[in-house]
Amino acid sequence: MVSSKVEDSLNNQILLEGESSQFYLSMASWAENQGYVGTSSFLYRQADEEREHMLKLIKYVNERGGVARIPSISEPPTEFDCLTNVFESLLSHELNITAKINSVVHICLQEQDYTTHNFMQWFVSEQIEEEATARGILDRIKLTGSEKGGLYLFDRDLENLIGGSISVPSAGK
């Protein structure tokens, strides 16, 4: 059984994962309209993953005797300046999510809920990977440059990466 404090923090995390999914969906749609095929596939997939994270939390809360709240989600930004802007926004969003996950973990320890603490470790590891992926992608954009030809190459590169794994090599997914 989860305590009400743990239940509330998990429900807040459900909202955040749902918001992440919608945010990445909006980025994916923007990239698709700009003709960035690889980037949009990557982001559609990220949006699906975030929804999976939300579902994982919903099921956990219900299994542990709590009640998962299904939140309404406000409309995410729809306009982005450029690909660099998209991935900078993604990285800063992930950094914020990491901080939120850490605070859930902190509450678990305060409440002596070691079962939920253990469950949350999956999210802790996932954040390490996602931050590394976002940083790796930003490094690639810097390497290819912001000229049209460079961005085309970057986008094609990202499409190839999705064929195997969404992580850049250094992220080790």
Which residues lie near ligand OFO (CB under 6 A)? 17, 20, 50, 53, 94, 97, 126, 130
Least Å distance, CB 23 to ligand OFO, is 9
* 148/77 Cα distance (integer angstroms): 24
Residues 6+ apart with CB under 8 A from 29: 40, 78
Least Å distance, CB 132 to ligand OFO, is 12
Least Å distance, CB 78 to ligand OFO, is 19
Q: Nearest CA to 1 among 116, 92, 91, 124?
A: 116
Closer residue to ligand OFO (CB): 113 or 130: 130
Q: Do 25 and 90 contact (CB within 8 A), yes or no?
A: no
* 146/148 Cα distance (integer angstroms): 6
Residue linked to tokens 């970057």: 154
Least Å distance, CB 115 to ligand OFO, is 20
Closer residue to ligand OFO (CB): 97 or 151: 97
Closer residue to ligand OFO (CB): 20 or 40: 20
Closer residue to ligand OFO (CB): 49 or 111: 49
